[in-house]
Amino acid sequence: MNGKSVKARRLAADGSHPPTGDCRTDSGRPRRAVSSFAPAVLGLLLAVLGFTLAAPDPARAADKPTVTLSESQAGTGGSVTVKGKGWRPDALLMMLVCGQATPAAGVPGGTNSCANSQGRAVTTDGDGAFSKKLPVTEPPKPCPCVVHVATVTGAKAAVDAEFKVAGHPVKPLPEQRAGGRLSVLTDTRLDGSSGVLTWFGSPPSRRLVFTVGNVGSAPVKDPVFQVGTSHGVFAPKWEEQQWRGTIAPGRKAQVKLSVELPAGAHGDYLVSLRFGDKVLAEQPWGVGRPWGVTLFWVLLCVVVPAAVFRVGMVLVDRIRPDRRRGRRAPGRHRTSRIGELTGRLPKLRLPQSAVTPERGGTPPGSAPARSSTTLPWFSPDTDPGAPAGQLSAPSDNGPTTKGQQ
């Protein structure tokens, strides 16, 4: 060991420090002067961090949607330009003029207090901004009024801008009733699945399951909820359902309510839950197309025409004459026709006195050997039933036939 290292160790053991002018290490290399710059670097980092925390984040500020109006007041028949920023890109929005609402309280009555017939739909651009004119119409509820802008599909977002409808009556907002108040504590869900009948057009049904808590000061007994279903931009159709039970203040309970859609429903639906005048939760519901109904109509369009064609061909075969039966030989047809007519003629018999033994007859009292029939236009000499020896030859003195010399 050299003397400098031993001296340094002794000084460290005594608790004394080396002189400030000695900036060399044990190996003789100069020390790095870091201790003098550490406080300055630390102060600079803290200053930069504080500035970053204090400055607003443009991305986060842009995530919050905003709505501005070109005018704060307008009468019925006019219009107001609605502009928005910070919305989700390519999102479908619905703009409505609603009554009995404020930007702070929102729209307690839901879309039932809005002028739904004069609402306008708008789609945001790639930056989440939009601008469109909205016609001014008196809402079904008195003012205070707002222009309500909310998303139709996807993640829910809504903004209310204060607006005054000129000439429309103004009434204060209804006071909140003291007592029990319910609030949804967990996310809602739809339990159940579709069966075979739903595939053929049966009404789809689910169970809306959620947990509510009583945040008021009084118990809530047998609360009556309102379950609404809406499709697209249409307002929900509400149906009241009562839950049996009592929820004490500060307690919670799980509630299950049935939800049913009309027969043949398909597409994107929204199930809303409302208690009193406040909408507690909303749950999307995608319903598949009933392909069984489509298959039924396709088969009906194929089977019915085929059955009608088959019945028509059978009728045609029975009505039209049979050509094979009409094809007969001419001679055979005439022969059978003459035989049929001859059979209908009455049979003639000669009396027994007119038959002599010499002519081949039988004496009286004896049984005839055979019966012979003489037609009236044959003479006795040319009787077909007479023996061949008794037939007389034709006379030469008779008149000749035509064509003979």
Each residue of 150-179: pLDDT tens digit?
A: 998 777 889 999 999 999 999 988 765 556
Q: Which two tokens stand for residue 308?
A: 């009608």
DSSP 3-state assignment of 162?
strand
- The C-alpha R_g of the chain, in whole angstroms, comes to 57
Output 208 or 331, whichever has higher pLDDT. Answer: 208
Question: Higher model confidence: residue 4 or residue 237?
Answer: 237
Residue 57 dihedral angles phi and psi, to the nearest 5°: -85, 115
Q: Which residues contact 283 (CB under 8 A, 6 or more apart)?
A: 188, 189, 190, 208, 270, 271, 272, 273
pLDDT in tens, 351-377: 555 555 545 455 555 555 555 555 555
Candidates 3.40.50.2300, 3.40.50.360, 2.60.40.1220, 2.60.40.230; CATH matching 63-166: 2.60.40.230
**Lookup: tokens for 383:** 């009787």
Domain boundaries, the chain: 63-166, 182-291
What does pTM read for this prediction?
0.43
E strand map for 117-175? 120-123, 130-135, 145-151, 158-166
pLDDT of residue 53: 42
Q: Tell me the torsion sign for CA atoms 230, 236, 239, 245.
A: positive
pLDDT of 188-219, one tens digit each? 899 988 888 888 888 999 999 999 999 887 88
Q: Given this chain, do its domains 63-166 and 182-291 carry the same CATH topology?
A: yes
DSSP string covering 192-254, please? ----HHHHTTPPPEEEEEEEEEE-SSS-EES-EEEEEEEETTSPPEEEEEEPPSEE-TT-EEE
The string of pLDDT tens digits covering residues 302-324 is 888 999 998 989 888 888 776 55
Please give the CATH superfamily to which domain 182-291 belongs.
Answer: Immunoglobulins (2.60.40.10)
Please tell me the distance from the alpha carbon of residue 391 to that of residue 123, in angstroms, as a whole number: 123
Helix (H) or strand (E) holding 332: helix 330-344
Whether 60 has a pLDDT exceeding 50, the answer reads: no
